[in-house]
Amino acid sequence: MKIAMIAPIAWRTPPRAYGPWELVTSLLTEALVARGVDVTLFATQDSLTKATLAGPVPAPYSEDPSVDAKVWEMRHLAAVFERADEFDLIHNQADFPAHAFAGLVDTPMVTTIHGFSSDRIVPMYEPYQDRVHYVAISDADRHPRLRYADTIHHGIPIEDFPFDPAGSDDLLFFGRIHPDKGAAEAIAVAKATGRRLVMAGIVQDQGYWEREVAPHVDGECIVYRGPVGGVDRTATLGRAKALLHLINFDEPFGLSVVEAMACGTPVIAIRRGSMPELIEDGVNGFLVDSVEEAVAALARIDTIDREACRAAAAARFSVDRMADRYIALYRRILGR
């Protein structure tokens, strides 16, 4: 089986710090290669992989301002589809632009839909659903106007997330500094409970940062560490008493939620989007509907068994499980 894997080009694959789509693409690619699948990864030229690396993009456009996103995204996709007949299947992880090429080749195509920024992008999905096999990353993220080949949850390398049996007294916010992700709500919970809050993630909305977050960051009670990667990422996730995921949108999946649970850290999350699929209330965290309910849930956080959090993540969200589900899908599509 020969697979062309299309990575996004905003960040390196795998990313140095932030870059969830690139991270999932990397994890799946390496797992497929380990199973003997012949994968060509189309990604930025600085990407790291055991697959065959291909593509013209010199660097990620979010890291190198000389790389024009629109220009190089078209070059990137052209490089894939000009070679389409070399592959049994094309797996697109890079959103809707690839669909413009789908009708020009005979090679079957899968698109993993990593979420909908708005309904305005649906016109680049709906007309192509007879040609492209769509995969949802959660049942909650299935769009009512689209047909899906499967729902496949993301997987993480459990062994890369050391279990921390004790954690600390600190709360954790881990994600984009953006109104969607509930940074201000996390700060409100920390202040209401008198706990220290550690915040990690890129600033995606500068105005929101300046209005709602920065005035509270004092380096003692509210600490901002910026984007973290590598060992610092896993240590940060494991050291927390709880991850606060008090979102203001319908979260398509939530990698940080699963990563925290893998480290043994329970999650307090707003009951929206995929959260009820990831969190079993009272077992690996709590589902809440408001800041006030989050404060109340935090009073019960010690009733959560950190080993149970780890076990739930290992059983349901491993890279192996994700890779096996995708291989089964590829075989169904190819009639094997």
What is the pLDDT at residue 275? Answer: 98
The confidence band for 118, taking pLDDT boundaries of 50, 70 and 90, is: confident
The Cβ of residue 276 has, within 10 Å, a number of other Cβ atoms equal to: 15
pLDDT value for 68? 98
| Separation between Cα atoms, residue 172 and residue 183, nearest integer Å | 10
Strand 2-6 versus strand 109-113 pairing type: unpaired
3-class secondary-structure state, position 110? strand
What does pLDDT average to over the chain? 96
Name every residue whose Cβ is closer than 8 Å to that of residue 12 and which is 6 or more positions away in sequence. Answer: 19, 22, 43, 44, 46, 47, 48, 60, 63
Q: Which residue has the tokens 């660097």?
A: 59
Mean pLDDT of 92-116: 97
pLDDT(336) > 80: no
Other C-beta atoms closer than 10 Å to the C-beta of 98 total 23
**Confidence class for position 267, pLDDT limits 50, 70, 90:** very high
The pLDDT assigned to 229 comes to 84
Assess contact for 11 and 80: CB atoms under 8 A: no
Nearest to 24 by CA among 91, 76, 80: 91
Yes or no: say if 12 and 22 are a contact pair by the CB < 8 Å rule: yes
Three-state secondary-structure class, residue 287: strand
Q: Is it the case that residue 172 has pLDDT exceeding 90?
A: yes
pTM: 0.91
What does the pLDDT read at residue 116?
87
Contact in structure between 2 and 40 (CB atoms under 8 Å): yes
Q: Which residues pair with 112 in a beta bridge?
A: 135
The predicted pLDDT at position 306 comes to 97
pLDDT tens, position by position, 13-54:
999 988 999 999 999 999 999 999 999 999 999 999 999 999
Q: What is the pLDDT of residue 149?
A: 98
- The secondary structure of 150-209 as a DSSP string is EE----B-GGGS---SS--S-EEEES-BSGGGTHHHHHHHHHHHT--EEEES-B--HHHI
CA within 13 Å, CB half, 207: 1
Q: Are 38 and 2 in contact (CB under 8 A)?
A: yes
